[in-house]
Structure 1
Amino acid sequence: MISYLVGPQMLNLLGVAILVLALAMLGLRGFNRSLNVYAMHSLLLAIVTAITGYNVANMHVYVAAVATIIIKVVAIPLIMIKLVSTMRVRQESRLLVNAPTSFIIAIGLMMLASHMARLTMPGQSPFETMLTVGIAVSMFGMLLIVLHKDAVIQVIGLLTMENGFFLVGLILTGGMPFFVEVGIFFDILLTSLLLWVYLRRMNFELKSTNTMHLNQLRG
């Protein structure tokens, strides 16, 4: 369990900021804005990771924080920007429901996340608070995938969901084993490259990244 040397208030504040940014993504339709919010979201996650490394006095967690910045804040956004610049894609994604409805769904998911965190860590604030944030962010990422029709935004939803999983693992373990962290980051980078190939192929075949057009591939 993590022993907090840095005040829990700071971590709670960062957790709220991470949650708000993830919630904001649900109301965004523009690719560039969504990608910018994802990069800021990942930067805050890196800061939380670094603070956790300081609290547990584990250099491996510092390495994970640096890797988060390199891969999630820099590399993945550059890959996505390069991808979109080479394709003719809509600058705005279409939502299956309107923004107010998506926020209502998100509030319900947040309540569910809070309940799950209480069952896992009853009465252990701020652990419970950060765990709630991690679970909620994972759910918000999944909701992004479901609500958006454009595959590019869905990729951002997948990456956001992974951010939530990472935060949950960080809180539950107090810093995952080093080789596990390295493996996760390589998996993320490889997944991003595979999605890059998939989106390029989809755009080449359908002249669009709208997933509603995938039924055109049926024989």
Structure 2
Amino acid sequence: MLNLLGVAILVLALAMLGLRGFNRSLNVYAMHSLLLAIVTAITGYNVANMHVYVAAVATIIIKVVAIPLIMIKLVSTMRVRQESRLLVNAPTSFIIAIGLMMLASHMARLTMPGQSPFETMLTVGIAVSMFGMLLIVLHKDAVIQVIGLLTMENGFFLVGLILTGGMPFFVEVGIFFDILLTSLLLWVYLRRMNFELKSTNTMHLNQLRG
């Protein structure tokens, strides 16, 4: 089950690299977060730790429901145009992603040698973090870059979950609070950027240089 979920999480993160529209990227992020919540719940069952179930529920509330609603509300008020192209084409981005997957697999083997399926899930977590970082680099639109940042955080959360078998409760609460606060700050930033530049294209930030 963990292996199947890991493959699904990895495929969704990989698919985000080829998406250009905000709505599709946000929908994939929500599905990605839902699968992450399921993995968290299964981990809670395996380690018999109730607070991990709480983390799974919090993942659904914050990442599957709250953050997508905040993003939809933000974009609807700004009327952001969908991005027309990436910095590189889709085949090139997938080739880069394959290289990152190989690097993630090597890092996971060094950290957890021969401990499947946890080694597989650790590979997925590291790869998803790298894919989120790559998504930020490839896209010019700040809204899509925010989704990349959130995807990268999903990968970090999965890595922490696998390495610790369920992080301490107060650490998880702090993480979710930081995610929600960061989303609100990014909401303010994007609104301000759109107000000043009439666009969320980061290339326009060159206009602010003195």
Alpha-carbon RMSD across the aligned residues, in angstroms, is 0.6
CA distance in 1, matches of 2:136, 2:88: 13
**What residue is the counterpart of 1:4 in the other structure?**
none
Q: Secondary structure at the match of 1:27?
A: coil
**Deviations 1:113-140, CA, capped at 9 Å, x for gaps:** 0000000011111111000000000000
- Judge conservation of contact 1:93–1:153 (CA < 8 Å) in 2: no
Equivalent of residue 166 in structure 2, options 175, 181, 185: 175
The question of whether the paired residues in 2 share the 8 Å contact of 1:134 and 1:165 is answered with yes
C-alpha displacement at 1:178, in angstroms?
A: 0.1
Partner Cα distance (1:79, 1:136) in 2:
26
The 8 Å contact of residues 22 and 160 in structure 1, kept in 2 or not, is answered as: yes
* Aligned residues of 1:88 and 1:207 also touching (Cα < 8 A): no
CA contact (8 A) 1:149 1:212 kept: yes
Aligned residue pair count: 210
The Cα shift of 1:91 comes to: 2.0
1:82–1:157 CA distance, 2 compared to 1 (3 A): same
2:116 matched to which residue of 1? 125
For structure 2, the residue ranges without an aligned partner over 5 or more in a row are: none
Residue 14 of structure 1: CA displacement? 0.2
62-71 vs 83-92, greater mean Cα deviation: 83-92
Once residues 162 and 12 of structure 1 are traced to their aligned partners in structure 2, the CA distance between those partners, rounded to angstroms, is: 20
List per-residue Cα deviations over 1:18-75 (Å, max 9, x = no partner): 0000000000000000000000000000000000001111110000000000000000
Q: 1:209 to 1:161 in 2, by over 3 A?
A: same
- 1:88 Cα offset (Å): 2.7
Deviation at 1:90, TM superposition (A): 1.1
Cα shift at 1:93: 5.1
**Hey, what's the Cα distance between the residues in 2 that align with 1:203 and 1:162?**
24
The alpha-carbon deviation at position 86 of structure 1 amounts to 0.3
Residue 88 of structure 1 contacts residue 208 of structure 1 at CA under 8 Å; is this kept in 2? no
Unaligned segments of structure 1, at least 5 residues: 1-9
Aligned-partner Cα distance in 2 for 1:190–1:94: 30
Provide the C-alpha distance between the structure 1 equivalents of 2:86 and 2:56, rounded to a whole number of angstroms: 33
**Contact 1:25–1:37 at 8 Å: present in 2 too?**
yes
Offset of residue 94 of structure 1: 2.9
- Are 2:50 and 1:59 equivalent residues in the alignment? yes
Native 8 Å contact 1:93 1:149 kept in 2: no
Q: Following TM superposition, by how much is the alpha carbon of 1:157 offset from its aligned partner in structure 2, in angstroms? A: 0.2
Q: What is the TM-score when the length of structure 2 is the normalising length?
A: 0.99
**1:154-176 CA distances to partner (integer Å, 9 max, x unpaired)?**
00000000000000000000000
Identical positions, percent: 100
Distance in 1 separating the partners of 2:147 and 2:195: 20
Structure 2 counterpart of 1:145: 136
Q: In the TM superposition, what is the alpha-carbon distance from 1:92 to its structure 2 partner?
A: 2.9
CA contact (8 A) 1:93 1:150 kept: no
